[in-house]
Structure formats: structure tokens, C-alpha cells
Amino acid sequence: MNQIVHRNQIDSSKILSGEPSLIYKLINIECYTSPGFSANSKCYLKAINWNKAVAQMDVDVTRPLKNISLRFHVSKKDYSNKYQPFLINVVVNICDVFAKRNFIPYGKIFLKLARQFSNFNHSCPYKGHLFARDLFVDTSILPNLLPLGIYKVNITIMEGYMNKPTDYVGGVMVSLQAMTPFKKRGS
């Protein structure tokens, strides 16, 4: 008989055995581009199993990007099925993160993901074909501190950091679910 396990009732033996008590499953991804900076964007998810989906992303950068900043905005779906802002709304200069001049936590999370899954893992400037393959969010990269639920992460990519106005380059909108992993029957 399957039982519903609440977050505060997770069995400590499962934690000690190495089984994750919380996973982040990607459920949707959308890419947006600006015609002056990028072209041929393609984003899609590939389902691996009930607990995991991986993202595949491609884009051609047509103009060199020399001072890239990312705006991370996180929203959580509430009881009325609407997304409400959730704690994180920050702008990070990615060139500084890759040059190790900035150690903001959200920049470090992006750095770990970029180094592991993509070819944009070097210092600025960027031009040409950029891609990410088999990207997923692991609890080793993002700690399991988020409450269970569905989140939308809106990443806006801009050229320029403190220069106002910044130029819009593109964006990625990722929906993910923080959930307890599905188990096979009998295990």
C-alpha cells in the first residue's frame, strides 16, 4: 500500500542510504531570442523516466556578447493555480562569475550547470553556436531546501550590466517541480 509522505515525515534511513528525499523534475522549457543578437533557438525536454527529464538547448549568437548579465526571477504556483513571486529576483553579471570576480550564490549555481552541461563555460565574449545537452537540476547543485511544489524560473539574458538601458538578448523560462521521487512498487 502506497503512503503519502510529507516533507517533514521523511524517513532518516532513506537519507542515510543515499536515496534522495527531494528531486527537481523539469516539466517545461521555452526559449526566446532577440533578432539583433541571436537566431535559430531551439529548446525542448526529453523525458528519461518518471523522476527525470533533461533539457536540450541550441542558439546561434550573431553579435559578440561582451558583458552578459542574467536576471533570475523565481515564481511558485500557489493554491489558486497562479504563479506568485518566490524569494529570488536577482541580476548577476555572468562574465564576472566566469572570471571568478563574483561569488553570488545564484551565479555559482549557474556556473556549475554551465560547466557540466554546456559549451558556454569560458570567459566572455561569446559568439557562434551555444548549446546545452542533457541539462537537469540535481540536488547536489541546488540544495533540497525548497518546499514541494511547481516553480517557474524566468532567466532574462541582457547585454550590459550596470549600463542603463541594457539590451535584451533573449530568455529562457523553465518550469520545474520539487517533489518526492516516484518509487517502483514493491521497493
Residues 13, 140: Cα–Cα separation, whole Å:
19
Residues 39, 61: Cα–Cα separation, whole Å:
7
Residue 7, pLDDT > 70, answer no
Q: State residue 133's pLDDT score.
A: 94
Residues 161, 34: Cα–Cα separation, whole Å:
17
> Domain containing 154: what range?
22-179
The enclosing domain of 49 has a CATH number of: 2.70.220
- Within a domain: 131: yes
- Within a domain: 143: yes
Confidence of residue 18 (pLDDT cuts 50, 70, 90): low
Block residue for cell numbers 524566468: 154
Give all strands of the β-sheet with 167-179 in edge-to-edge order.
Answer: 23-33, 167-179, 149-159, 68-77, 83-93
Q: How many domains does the chain have?
A: 1
User: Measured on CA atoms in the order 51, 25, 112, 133, is the torsion positive or negative?
Assistant: positive
- Within a domain: 9: no
Confidence of residue 44 (pLDDT cuts 50, 70, 90): very high
Residues 97, 68: Cα–Cα separation, whole Å:
10
Residues 130, 119: Cα–Cα separation, whole Å:
6
Residues 144, 140: Cα–Cα separation, whole Å:
8
- Within a domain: 116: yes
Residues 59, 42: Cα–Cα separation, whole Å:
7
Residues 21, 5: Cα–Cα separation, whole Å:
10
CB 168 within 8 A of CB 158: yes
- Within a domain: 1: no
pTM of the model: 0.82
CB 187 within 8 A of CB 40: no
pLDDT digits (tens, 9 = 90+) for 48-84: 999 999 999 999 999 998 888 889 999 999 989 999 9
- Within a domain: 7: no
The DSSP element (H or E) to which 110 belongs, if any, is: helix 105-117
- Within a domain: 148: yes
Task: Classify 178 as helix, strand or coil.
Answer: strand
- Within a domain: 160: yes
pLDDT digits (tens, 9 = 90+) for 121-162: 778 888 999 999 999 988 888 776 788 999 999 999 999 876
Residues 104, 149: Cα–Cα separation, whole Å:
25
